[in-house]
Amino acid sequence: MRIFISYALEDQEFVNQLAEKLRGVDFQPISTNLRYSLGEDVHSKIEEGTFFSKHVIIIFSKNYIQDKWLMNKELLACFVLEKSRKPGYIIPIQIDDCELPNHLLSRPPIEFRKDFTNTVKEIQSAIRSRRQAFIVMKLGDKTLDSAHEGVIIPTLDNFGFSAIRIDSFENSGKINNQILEEIDRSEIVLADLTGERPNCYYEAGYAYALGKEVILTAKNGTAIHFDLATNRIIFWDTEADLREALSSRLKSIHSRQRNSI
């Protein structure tokens, strides 16, 4: 997994040591200086500079806080990107007694205490906590609800994903908007097509259009419609079947992602 590191040049030695530790746990840290590679127009080019990065680590220090370019250009651009497209994109690390920006006060940073091993573990934990999987399925079905609670949520959790399912909102407009927003935020979309609900097909199609990793499931005997019939689908009878097949698919996804780094 690629991770971009934003830092002050005066903290280069710290960043070099952190990057070495991150590479040891299968991360690919990128620490290109955007000020020199992108110039002043960083707001329009920040995606270019961090396009292949899943997250940005911000190394907050007195040096960083005092650097007006970093604070007014690079940091602001990262926050804009996080808000518009990548929630949980920024992972703050504080390496000295600097005063953090006000908009970070509600997000406790990882505090470095001269222990790179623990710092890397906290980074791993922060990344796992921010990986979201969105669940699409027919609501109010006892069999599906049981599979969701007993299989889907814990299996995704074992692979570092937080599962989210939209069950109810005040009106249909809010439901539709929220669902699309959550699909956009998610790394994986699991769509169970049992019950042949049109909204499940629509949401799965939307996820495919965004290029998301989509996992299709359905109870055996479910008729599959439209172009989804040609996709790889996990058909299941029991929760044990679903657990085994879902674990296998997630292992395959994990392996493919590691090989693409």
Q: What is the pLDDT of residues 155-194, one digit of tens each?
A: 987 787 878 888 744 444 556 788 888 898 888 999 999 9
Q: Given 77, 105, 129, which residue is the final one in a domain?
A: 129
Residue 261: pLDDT band by 50, 70, 90 thresholds?
Answer: very low
In a shared domain, residues 182 and 168? yes
pLDDT at 15 over 90: yes
Q: Given 102, 129, 156, which residue is the final one in a domain?
A: 129
In a shared domain, residues 67 and 13? yes
Helix (H), strand (E) at residue 148: none
Distance CA 38, CA 44 (A): 9
* pLDDT of 51: 53
Mean pLDDT of 99-126: 82
**Structural domain span for residue 137:** 131-260
In a shared domain, residues 142 and 110? no
Choice among 49-58, 92-101, 187-196, 241-250 with the minimum mean pLDDT: 49-58
Name the CA dihedral angle for 7, 10, 13, 19, rounded to a multiple of 10 degrees: 10
Residue 153, both tokens:
């949520």
Assign residue 174 the CATH number of its domain. Answer: 3.40.50.450
Question: Between residues 4 and 127, which one has the greater pLDDT?
Answer: 4
In a shared domain, residues 147 and 95? no
In a shared domain, residues 107 and 142? no
pLDDT at 195 over 50: yes
Mean pLDDT of 113-120: 85
- How many structural domains are present in the chain? 2
In a shared domain, residues 9 and 113? yes
In a shared domain, residues 210 and 227? yes
In a shared domain, residues 243 and 189? yes
Mean pLDDT of 33-37: 61
Question: Between residues 216 and 45, which one has the greater pLDDT?
Answer: 216
Percent of the chain with pLDDT strictly greater than 70: 82
Estimate the crossing angle of helix 198-209 against helix 172-185, to 10 degrees.
40
Distance CA 95, CA 61 (A): 6
In a shared domain, residues 120 and 180? no
Distance CA 216, CA 228 (A): 9
Write down the mean pLDDT value for the chain: 84
Q: Given 100, 129, 158, which residue is the final one in a domain?
A: 129
In a shared domain, residues 141 and 222? yes
In a shared domain, residues 123 and 146? no
Assign residue 42 the CATH number of its domain. Answer: 3.40.50.10140
SS (H, E, C) 107-126: CCCEECCCCHHHHHHHHHHH
Distance CA 168, CA 176 (A): 11
The one-letter code for the residue type at 42 is: V
In a shared domain, residues 80 and 191? no
